[in-house]
Structure 1
Amino acid sequence: MKPAKFMFINKDAKSDSLSHSHKNERVQIHSHVQKGRRYKKSDNGIIYAPQLPFLQPGRRSRDTNDREDQVPDEDVQTQQPTTFLLRRTSSPVPAASHQYLEQLDPNLDPLLWDYSQVPVTPSLSPQSVPTFPASAEESFDPFGVTCVKVDESIYSLLQYFLARFHPNIWHLERAIRTDHAYAFRYDAMSVIQGCLHDEYNMYALLAHMSSYMQGIDGARATGDWDFYMHKALQSSQNYVKSGKPITGRMILNTFSLACAEWYRFNLENGYIHFKAAKSMIDTIGGLQAVDAPLAELLLTGDAYVAGELRTKPLWSDSEFDNGDDHPMTAFALQELQKLLSGTVQIGSGLLTSAHQGIIPADLRWVTLDLAVALSVLRSSRSNEPASAAQSSEGLHWVHIRSIAIRHRLLHMDLSDPRSDAVRIALVLWMFLCFTVTGRKRSVMVIAPFLQETLLTIAEEEWHHHEEVHLWILTIGALCATVGTAEHNWFMEQINASSKTSTGDSAKIFGTLAALSEKFFYHELAQKYKLRALADDLHDMRTIQKRSRSKANSTPKPQRS
């Protein structure tokens, strides 16, 4: 007897009673459809499609139709719910998974203290785009109506969000922890799930990721940014007109639109969206009314914008800084005692009484808070059992404290330009050492502001503060774009300083590292950049020495 064959008919609510099959029939249909499928069910019951490969060299998203004709039905892991996810574009897709992460700007240092390229294991963050049932009542999907299929460009951007962007926000935690995990790593998949069910969510995130990939990572973005942005703005307008309530996801979408414009240096448009997100937050009760991952994401972006626009952040630190209300406070107080006793010298170059004239009380307290945060960060890297127990919680505490400290620095108004130069240098140092976007973009935008401030200060005003001046110049040289007039100026000022060594590059590096230790120095983030700076200084002095030697050896013309 031949096995029974099933003919699947897609029916709707207007269909006759034939659309209502018995339970046994549904079980048989489900069994037939699932034979040969290679789904893997996780422990928590969510079904994930196997990891799809990243695109191979030369492929374009418009070729997808041809490949679909060649792929057996049993290998198709997801089905089409709506047409917006399957839109094909002629934009080139990155050649391989590593290619779209490749840094193209010589000023960026992807191999230096950058753990964002470390593969994320499935146990830390799911790597595959999952399929989700439309409701709890749908235990199977014979007609392919509750699964989501995305084209390769969109899939690549969603993977980019999971493996690159989201971990970068909490980079400080991942860079220190041996397993490269971070507190909110599981939140990323909920964001993706929201995209798979709503056009507004999807297009806002796609526009954000496409802009971030190109503007921050310097890679060729996939998909059609203009199309994504147009559809996201259209969806945003429709959402507002519908009168639906403000939700955390609506705020996230508005923030994504702001970033999508900002990373492409459409600053005015980006700032309008940032202020709209702030207005929405205020409407629903402030930052305390949204989830912690969203709040930290907004505050991080707020600092970038304020620093680059030379304006005050939209939020004040008093709106989110929990002060002593944290389990890590007791441990932080122990680190504070070490600083006050002189056991640890972090920040001592700014906190000594000799510099009170240029370090006012407010700036002094912020400097001390930053020194405590860095001391906790160093302790979390210790191999001592007591420190290891504090590591996970301590690292996230450092992250949220660094956000509050940055906002306090960015809100400060200091009348003495020397004090303001110290303030800007501290902001630059925090962006350089604690963030990814700040390290790759913001510091290069802000470094010229530091130069402008220093040019207003006469050389003699740094008398008795020469080491502070040299440290500020070093931070400027580390942050300025290599090859620009600003970077060359910082180099020349450092070269002219009597505090720098005149030996080989190794000796210059040792001098600069020892100087930085008196102020703020995070070895993982600064070591290679500081070594490159020492090499450049040595090369500059070698060229100058040769030029002087050549000038002296040239015979002067005799007078007749």
Structure 2
Amino acid sequence: MPRQFLFVNKDADSSSLTRSTATEQSSINSHVQRGRRHRRSGNNTGRSGNRARKAVGTSKPAIPVEEEEEAIVVDTPSTSASLDSPILDRQATSEPSRGKQIKIPSRPHSRAQTSRSTEAEEESSNDHSSQGTTSRASSDPSHNAKKKRKKGSVMLLNSRDSSPRDITQVIGSSVDPFGQSVVKLDPHVARLCRYFAESYHPSVWNAERWGSVDGAYTHLPSAKLIIQRAMQNEVEMNAMLAAMAARIEAVDRIPDQGTNKYMGNALVAVRQRFSSSSKDQLLFIIFHLYAGEAYRQNYPAAKIHMRAAKALFASWGGLNHIPDPALRELFIIGDLHVSAVLLEPTELPCDYDPGSYWTATPLELQLAPEQDLGSVAPAFLGPATDGYLPDELGDVMHEIRECAWLLRYGTVEHSVAYKHALKWLQWRSAAIRCKLLSMAFSDASFEAIRVALLLWVLITTVTLGLKLLGHRMAPKLQSLLRTARNPYHQWKGRVDIQIWVLTIGAMCAGTDTEEENWFIERLFELGLPENIRLFREMQGPEATTTSVLRNFQEKFFYYDKMQKPRLERLAALID
């Protein structure tokens, strides 16, 4: 089979070809040098040309220019044995690849000329010896085979058999065909990189993707750039792999992704190379470490990484001045998620609130004129106006009504106005979560309402709401409800609000967990199943537990597109 090479020539002066062996690189260099004809002047009597002609002598005519430029590699046996030597026969039979390669460059120097002279002398002597054995050669098949073997050893550049052919990869792995990554890209590492680009990164800006026909979003190009840069930096690659492995284990419930290994590698490498990394690079590394520790619920370590990030923010003059807007948003969203699970105020300031939808949106981009939101969550209107709820909760409920209206009635999909509305929704809901996290009440019932509102905003506007954050926050809601010494007096007769809070807890808790069972038991204690039965008897056979529960939820806050599966499960548990 003829030799095959992959040429990666940036330009005629490029010295970087492939990661081949020394022998292969030599052959490739020879091909590159002789692949184009060198135009010499007709009267050039350079020493190379004279030396070549003198070396060849009169025993054999000089090779024509065309043939000289095409004869690159000549595989010949060792000069210590003649063609008729039995030792050579055995070597040619058993080790045909151990012959000597003689390379003739375009502009031969002394070594190349010596090699070519040696070749010419060998061929001349072999020609003389063959003249005395003509009759024997005609009857000796082995002799003819030797001649054929010798003739076949010359590989011409322009011959179809020896011409280089397209080879799709140099390295054995199709994951990293040119061997560019500093980290070994085995199939598992490749899957984690694809997970970052195809699953994690788009999910961060999922609300914006809803309004796009092809799923595009503002920061889509940055995913590829992050992976390309990570392939050139061991610390950043290991940090990203650790974050993605931890996310798959926590969100997708697939164990043994190697989180500890990648996290350990990243922490060791970042200590060694901290001083030599740029600020941009360090910030990406810190974010991946922060996210990875948060996914695996190592929140003290995550807080340490956030403090380091805040120190870097200060070196730029604040969070709003870091050069990469996508990275800025990643930190804001990550901070909101971690703070929600811990029920603590956010580490980063809430300076991204776009304001009311009808105030922040130009008239030509509004989905509808300004609406009366009294029909959204009407069951909360009375408690917000009669003094039962604190003013802070009443104000934030009005902001949530705007989001709920857009989720329910903003149905002009794939329009410019809809895309603008969804982007507004992402940051308005983020600001609402930040405000809810900054509140604190001494009354456990108000705290429970605050957390239930926070959970509802999370599960309806954040991809991880029902997949991860709700599961981790449900136990905290359960603890708050248990804290109330006298629930009836704490709730001041607002049993309907208490039932809504409990249903939110039941729909957010992990399935078949102690928390889910506890919320269901409390709903039975408050008489919800009996009330549903009585209501179904009044409405007739067409009423189902699911429909009754849906009507009840719509009096507060409910988004069927996201809550329907868990609502149906709740109905089945109550039945």
TM more than 0.5: yes
1:479 deviates by 1.0
Q: Tell me which residue corresponds to 2:371.
A: 338
The reply on whether 1:435 has 2:472 as its aligned counterpart is no
Please give the alpha-carbon distance, in whole angstroms, between the structure 2 residues aligned to 1:208 and 1:437: 15
RMSD: 3.9
Contact 1:288 1:320 in 2 (8 A): no
| CA separation of 1:491 and 1:188: change in aligned 2, threshold 3 A | same
Q: Which residue of the partner structure matches residue 421 of structure 1?
A: 448
* Residue aligned with 2:558, SS: coil
* Counterpart residue number, 1:193: 228
Choose which of 525, 536, 545 in structure 1 pairs with 2:573. Answer: 536
What amino acid sits opposite 2:234 in the alignment?
E
Q: Is the 8 A contact 1:425 1:476 kept in 2?
A: yes
Verify: 1:380 aligned to 2:413, yes or no: no
Q: Residue 484 of structure 1 is aligned with which of 483, 507, 513? A: 513
Identify which of structures 1 and 2 has the higher relative contact order when contacts are C-alpha pairs closer than 8 Å and 6+ apart: 1
Aligned residue for 1:520?
557
1:36-80, Cα deviation, whole Å (9 max, x unpaired): 2459xxxxxxxxx9xxxxxxxxxxxxxxx9xx4xx8xxx787222
User: 1:474-513 residue pairs with structure 2 within 5 A?
Assistant: 474-498=503-527, 500-502=531-533, 503=536, 507-513=544-550
Please tell me whether the aligned partners of residues 213 and 221 of structure 1 are also in contact (alpha carbons under 8 angstroms).
Answer: no
Alignment partner, residue 406 of structure 1: 433
Amino acid in structure 2 at the alignment position of 1:389: V
- Give the number of aligned pairs: 427
1:248-397 paired onto structure 2 within 5 Å:
249-290=281-322, 291-317=324-350, 319-323=351-355, 328=361, 337-340=370-373, 342=374, 345-352=375-382, 356-382=386-412, 388-397=415-424
Larger Rg over CA atoms = 2
Whether the 8 Å contact between 1:377 and 1:394 is mirrored in structure 2 is: no
- CA-to-aligned-CA distance 1:112-170 (integer Å, 9 cap, x gap): xxxxxxxxxxxxxxxxxxxxxxxxxxxxxxxxxxxxxx221211110111111112212
Contact 1:11-1:19 at 8 Å conserved across structures: no
Instruction: Return the letter of the residue paired with 1:209.
Output: M
Partners in 1 of 2:435 and 2:424 — Cα distance?
Answer: 17
Amino acid at match of 2:183: L
Compared CA separation, residues 334 and 396, structure 1 to 2 (3 A): closer
Of 227-236 and 254-263, deviating more is: 227-236
Q: Relative to structure 1, is the Cα distance of residues 331 and 250 closer, same or farther in structure 2, using a 3 angstrom cutoff?
A: farther
Q: Deviations over 1:395-438 (max 9, x none)?
A: 11111111111111111122332222111001111222222333
Tell me the equivalent position of 2:259.
Answer: 225
1:80 equivalent to 2:170? Answer no
Change in CA separation of 1:507 and 1:281 when aligned onto 2, cut-off 3 Å? same
The residue type paired with residue 501 of structure 1 is: I
The TM-score with structure 1 as length reference comes to 0.67
Give CA deviations for 1:204-250 in whole Å, capped at 9, x if unaligned: 1011111111122111354x4333222211232234333x5522x42
**Distance of aligned partners of 1:459 and 1:287 in 2 relative to their CA distance in 1, 3 Å threshold:** same
Superposed counterparts of 1:202-221, under 5 Å? 202-221=237-256
Could you tell me which residue of structure 2 aligns to residue 155 of structure 1? 190
Return 5+ residue gaps in structure 2 as ranges: 9-14, 38-157
Do the aligned partners of residues 468 and 3 (structure 1) sit closer, same or farther apart at CA in structure 2, a change above 3 Å counting?
closer
Q: How far apart, CA to CA, are the structure 2 residues paired with 1:364 and 1:332?
A: 28
Provide TM-score, normalisation by structure 2. Answer: 0.65
Identity %: 27
What displacement does 1:463 show?
Answer: 4.0
Taking a change above 3 Å as real, the CA distance of residues 371 and 159 of structure 1, as seen in their structure-2 partners, is same
Is the contact between residue 289 and residue 302 of structure 2 (CA under 8 Å) also seen in structure 1? yes
